[in-house]
Structures are given as structure tokens and as C-alpha cells.
Copies of this chain bind each other. A is one copy, B any other.
Amino acid sequence: MTDRKASVCVLGGGSFGTTLANLMASEAVPVTLWLRDPEMARHIREQHENPRYLPGIALDERLQVTTDLNAALATAEIVFLAIPSSSFRTVLQQIGPQLAGKQVVSTTKGIEQPGFLMMSQIVEQEAPEAHVGVLSGPNLAKEIAAGELTATVVASEDEQLCRDVQAVLGCANLRVYASQDRYGVELGGALKNVYAIISGMASALGMGENTKAMLITRALAEMTRFAVHMGANPLTFLGLAGVGDLIVTCVSPQSRNFQVGHALGKGETLEQGVARLGQVAEGVNTLRVLKQKAAEEGVYMPLVDGLHAIVFEHKPLPAVIARLMSAEQKNDVEFAAFMSAAPVKS
């Protein structure tokens, strides 16, 4: 592809899918948003607003909307997937063959069980002829939709895919950085929700800035330890899809994960918190899956263990905190030894 902007299709009319599609439409990229609900499609087409997921945000008039999946895909060169993890494989099974030769970029975070599969690994299975990538970063949809400045990462082994996504998505409000570590970028997006629960808990306990920064940093060390064990590049976690996304997730009190953590910190049980908030937070499911995988793989994850003990084993919070603070004092960044430090310049 050259300077001509590729044709794009975005699958999924939730807040992130709508935001992405709208951003590209407003930069004159030919883009079609696919969603299931004909009523919502009509509303977006006529009122230029997504009342359920982005109420009050005026969408660009050039944004095309359809409920016809085949039509949406027919002319698209780049396909962004912004469908919930619960229906991800079902949708992919329908359209797998049509994705052959296309650039397919997942923006969905989640882990499929059994198999501990990331969403882009499902794409590989269901659309083996597609070029596969992922998009992740400190990207609260409502802020991007409101025109706030931010940055994101496109990750793929396929460098052409990265360049093409940078070309259609990069604009004055969004910088798009490239990475070759698809698995690491995707894992960061999936794991962070567990640590947002812990941050909510710390906030409920009135912990100070040192403590919150320590928690985010040790969360990062723990995520990275797990990811490196699974084959990712530790340096991915220094970037926007690692620490960047972790910070935004851990400091934003709006997320359900943070709110569940806050309820736990105030002494509610998981059941009470969920009953009051009306929905299970994604991080709770990730916690269960991650605890099991870490045990199978023999990876040391004290924050995951501690949170699991509180949430599922009903251990008292102070005892878990005391155990965390009294564990053996190890190295700050244990895989630092992988890199040989050059001599100090002076």
C-alpha cells in the first residue's frame, strides 16, 4: 500500500469500536463500522451518535455503518476487531475464510479457556490466511472520543501491517507506535485488569502515593515475569501497552475492576460487591485463570496469590498485606541479568 489510505472495517459497535471507526472517518479514511443492532445502526446513521456507548459525542458524518457482515468485509483491506471476548470465536468462525489476505487487528482483551489463548491466537486458528496484529495502549475510549491526546501500540510480526495501521490511525490526537512483540502487547492488555482490582483496594484503604506507585511497579514486575516465562519480550512492558495501559487502568476510578477492588477494600465480599455493581468485572475472571496458569507454569506471582486469597479464599486483608510485605527481599528486576550492563560512562 502507498500513501492512499486503505479501506477499513471495524467490527463491533461498543465504545472502543465506535471510537476507532469515528477517528478514522474524521481523517477521511474510508471506514465502515459493523454492528448487530439495526436500531443502533439506524441511530448512528441518522443522528450521528452512539447513544448507548458514547452518549453526547457527535460522530463524523462520513462514518458508514452496516449490520451486514459480508458487505462490511467485502472491500476492507484492514479489519479491526472490537467485539467482546465472549463472542470473539463465534464471529471469527463465521468470517474466517473471508479474512484471507487481509490485515486483521484485534483490539479485544481477554483469555480464552481452555488453552490460555489470546484473541489474536484465535484469529490465527480461525483465519489462518490473514495477516494478524493487535492494538493496545492507554486508551480509555471516552477520552479518545473526546479528542484528548494519546498514543497506542500496533504489534505484529508483519511490519507492513504495522506501517499500514500507523497510516490509517495516526493523527494529530493519536500517535501509533509499532512493536514486533504481539504476544507481549496482548498479554499486557489482558493481565492489567487484575491489578486494577488491587489499585481499587489500595484506594479504599487510603494508601499513600508511595504505596500506590510501589503496587503499580511490583504489578509490572509480576506481569513481566509471567510474560517473559511465556515467551514475551520484557521491554514491551516498558512501553505504552505495558506500563502505559497499566497506569491508566490503575488510576481510573471509573473501571469496574477498580470499583470491585474498592468494594473489597471497604470490607465487602466479592458477592456483595458484584451484587451492588450489577456486573462481574473482567479482572475477576482473569484472576482465576491467571492463578491457575501461574501455578501450572511455576511462576511466582505474589500479588495474584494475595488477591486470590482475599477474593476466593476469604483471607483477611491485613494478613495478606503483612505476608506480602514480609516476603524475602529479592532483586528489583530479576530478569535484569538477561541484559549485560555495559560499563558506566563518566
A243-B243, A325-B172 as given contacts; A150 in contact with B234, CB under 8 Å: no
B207 with A325: CB separation less than 8 A:
no
Which residues of A229-283 are within 8 A (CB) of B?
Answer: 230-241, 243-245, 247-248, 251-252
Q: Residue A189 at the B interface, CB < 8 A?
A: no
Q: Residue A319 at the B interface, CB < 8 A?
A: no
Which residues of A128-181 are within 8 A (CB) of B?
Answer: 137-140, 143-144, 146, 148-151, 153, 155, 166, 170, 172-173, 175-181
Q: Residue A1 at the B interface, CB < 8 A?
A: no
Q: Which residue from chain B places its CB closest to the CB of A245 in the assembled complex?
A: B213
- Please give the distance in Å from A190's CB to the nearest CB on chain B: 14
Q: Residue A331 at the B interface, CB < 8 A?
A: yes
Size band of the interface chain A makes with B:
35 or more
Q: Which residue from chain B places its CB closest to the CB of A205 in the assembled complex?
A: B149
Q: Residue A209 at the B interface, CB < 8 A?
A: yes
Pick the contact of A214: B149, B155, B329 (CB < 8 A): B149
Give the docked Cα–Cα distance between A322 and B173 (Å).
9
Mind listing 10 A-B residue pairs with CB under 8 Å? A121-B346, A138-B210, A144-B210, A151-B218, A177-B332, A216-B243, A217-B240, A236-B333, A239-B332, A338-B339
Known: A177-B330, A220-B243, A238-B243. 16 other contacts (CB 8 A): A115-B346, A140-B210, A144-B210, A149-B210, A149-B211, A149-B214, A150-B208, A153-B332, A166-B329, A209-B248, A213-B245, A216-B247, A231-B342, A232-B341, A235-B333, A236-B336
When distances are taken between beta carbons in the complex, the residues of chain B under 8 Å from A209 are: 138, 140, 143, 248, 251-252
When distances are taken between beta carbons in the complex, the residues of chain B under 8 Å from A218 are: 151, 240
Give the docked Cα–Cα distance between A346 and B113 (Å).
12
Pick the contact of A339: B235, B322, B332 (CB < 8 A): B235
Q: Which residue from chain B places its CB closest to the CB of A165 in the assembled complex?
A: B329
When distances are taken between beta carbons in the complex, the residues of chain B under 8 Å from A231 are: 341-345
Pick the contact of A240: B146, B214, B336 (CB < 8 A): B214
Pick the contact of A143: B180, B208, B216 (CB < 8 A): B208
Q: Residue A326 at the B interface, CB < 8 A?
A: yes
Q: Residue A224 at the B interface, CB < 8 A?
A: yes
Contact with B along A187-216 (1 / 0, CB 8 A): 000000000000000000001111111101
